[in-house]
Amino acid sequence: MIRHYLLALQFFTRIPVTGKLAEWVGYSPAMLRASAGHFPGIGFLVGALSALSFWGVYTLLPQQAATVFVAAALSTVFSVMLTGAFHEDGLADLADGLGGHVSREKSLEIMKDSRIGTYGTVALLLALSSKLALLSLLGQLNLSICVIALFLAHVVSRTMPLLIIKYLPHVGDTPQSKSKPLADAIENPTLLVAALWCGAAFALVLFWRPAFIWSAGLIAALCSTWWMYRFLRRRIQGFTGDALGATQQLSELSFYLGVLLAWPRS
């Protein structure tokens, strides 16, 4: 399990797993499929570090009205540096491919193009600005809740793509796709590992606030994933690696929104 976790860390972040450690971890398509259960574990690490950076920036800077926005912006920069904008790239490519009214085959061809277009640019701007706005509002309401929501959102949002893999077929250019090892549907034990990571994250924070607001975030993430599932099934009859990245981004934003919607009722 440690090797599978380190392989996921190597695949989905810029955190170095090199040299003798990389040799010990090894690689095979079967190992990468098994490592899928640890995607929420990557969110556990990235979310914890991003939350810590948010808290550190907020407490070290002068306490002004804009401080929470600066903390949200710098913690977002930090998380993007950790992941190499892996998921943001998927969101932009999916928006370019499915933003216009083109055929399924043309959409898949556009998504393989590394250049970013109008739809991808707009999607990135909207996603990043929405994240900054939601985190800023959460920080203004309560610093602890914002930090915890940031942590949990990274864990939950990296669980949601596994549901897409589970219930939709892979439709990318399989021989060339980075998500080729995930073309086969993941099995229930892999989902169980992911659920354990999620359960551990929620268990750590339940004593901070009633479970209601965290449950609202989870429900919102599930709803956005359900929408993405229906959208992908209708437009391309399956998923690509870009679709998984877009699902992560959408469910992360939905988690923050769900927490905010539940806040007045908590």
pLDDT tens per residue, range 218-248? 999 999 999 999 999 999 989 998 999 999 9
The lowest-confidence range among 77-86, 96-105, 152-161, 252-261 is: 96-105
End-to-end CA distance of the chain: 38
- Which of 7-21, 43-57, 84-98 has the largest mean confidence? 43-57
From residue 116, alpha-carbon distances to 101, 119, 120, 123, 179 in Å are 17, 8, 6, 11, 20
pLDDT per position as a tens digit, 18-72: 888 888 888 877 788 888 889 999 999 999 999 999 999 999 998 888 899 999 9
Confidence category of residue 130, pLDDT binned at 50, 70, 90? very high
What the block records as the tokens of 247 is 């699902």
Q: How many other CB atoms sit within 10 Å of the CB of residue 88?
A: 21
Cα Rg of the chain, angstroms: 18
Q: For residue 184, what pLDDT is reported?
A: 63
What the block records as the tokens of 149 is 């929501």
Q: In 3D, which of 147, 131, 135, 249 has the Cα closest to residue 204?
A: 147
Residue spans per domain, the chain: 2-25+34-265
Please answer whether residues 105 and 235 qualify as being in contact, where contact means their C-beta atoms are separated by less than 8 angstroms.
no
